[in-house]
Amino acid sequence: MTDERIKDLELKANDIRISIIDMLEDAGSGHTAGPLGMTDIFTAFYFEILQHDPNNPDWEERDRLILSNGHIVPARYATMAHAGYFPLDELKTLRKFGSRLQGHPERHKLPGVENTSGPLGTGLGQSAGMAFGLRMDGKKNRVYCLTGDGELDCGNIWESAMFAAHHRLSNLTVVVDRNNIQINGFTENVMSLGDLKAKWESFGWHVIEVDGHNIEAFVDAVHQAHAIQEQPTCIIAHTIPGKGIPEIENDFTWHGKPPSTEEEQRFLKELRTLRGKIEASHAS
Partner 1 sequence: MGALQTGGMDYLPVKIEPNMLNDNLHLNTDLFDTDKLDKAATRDGFGKGLVEAGEKDPNVVALCADLAESTRAEWFKDAFPDRYIELGVAEQNLAAVGSGFANYGKVPFIMSYAAFSPGRNWEQIRSTITLNDVPVKIVGAHAGVSVGPDGATHQALEDIAITRVLPNMTVVVPADSEEARKATLAIAANGKPSYLRLARAKTPVFTTSDTPFVIGEPQVVYQDEEARVGIIACGSLVYQSMLAAKELEQEGIKVSVINLSTIKPMNAEAIVDFVENLDLVVTAEEHQIAGGMGSAVAEVLSAAMPRRIAFIGMQDRYGESGDPDQLLEHFGFTKDGIVKRIKEELGK
Amino acid at 266: R
Kindly state the smallest distance separating residue 154's Cβ from partner 1, in Å: 9
For partner 1, the closer of residues 34 and 125 by Cβ is 125
State the nearest-atom distance from the C-beta of 31 to partner 1, in Å: 18
Q: How far is CA 273 from CA 14, 160, 245, in A?
A: 10, 42, 10
Vertex 83 angle, CA 82 and 85, to 5°:
100
Nearer to partner 1, 112 or 123 (CB): 123
**Between 94 and 128, CB nearer to partner 1:** 128
Q: Residue 155 CB, nearest distance to partner 1 (Å)?
A: 7
Please answer whether residues 9 and 43 qualify as being in contact, where contact means their C-beta atoms are separated by less than 8 angstroms.
yes
Q: Is 206:225 a contact under the CB 8 Å cutoff?
A: yes
Q: Considering the complex, state which of residue 61 and residue 188 has its C-beta at the smaller distance from partner 1.
A: 61
Minimum CB–partner distance for residue 153 and partner 1 (Å): 14
Q: How far is the CB of 46 from partner 1 (least distance, A)?
A: 20
Residue 280 Cα distances to 7, 11, 277, angstroms = 10, 11, 5
For 34-62, give the DSSP string. Answer: HHHHHHHHHHHIIIII----TT-TT-TT-
Q: How far is the CB of 141 from partner 1 (least distance, A)?
A: 10
| Helix or strand holding residue 283 (H, E) | helix 261-283
CA-to-CA distance for 134 and 130, rounded, in angstroms?
Answer: 6
Nearest CB to partner 1, comparing residues 98 and 155:
155
Cite the DSSP H helix spans in the chain.
Answer: 3-27, 33-44, 73-83, 123-136, 155-166, 187-190, 196-202, 215-227, 261-283
Residue 139 Cβ vs partner 1, minimum distance, rounded to whole Å: 9
What's the rounded Cα separation, in Å, for the pair 276 and 272? 7
Residue placing its CB nearer to partner 1 in the complex, 102 or 231:
102
Cβ distance to partner 1 smaller for residue 121 or 241: 121
Q: State the nearest-atom distance from the C-beta of 63 to partner 1, in Å.
A: 12
Residues that bind partner 1 (CB under 8 A): 64, 106-108, 114-119, 121-134, 136, 155-156, 159-160, 162-163, 166-167
Q: Which residues contact 60 (CB under 8 A, 6 or more apart)?
A: none
Q: Which CB atom, from 133 or from 276, has the smaller least distance to partner 1?
A: 133
Chain centroid to Cα 26, Å, comes to 22
Tell me which residue of 74, 79, 34 sits closest to 244, measured CA to CA. Answer: 34
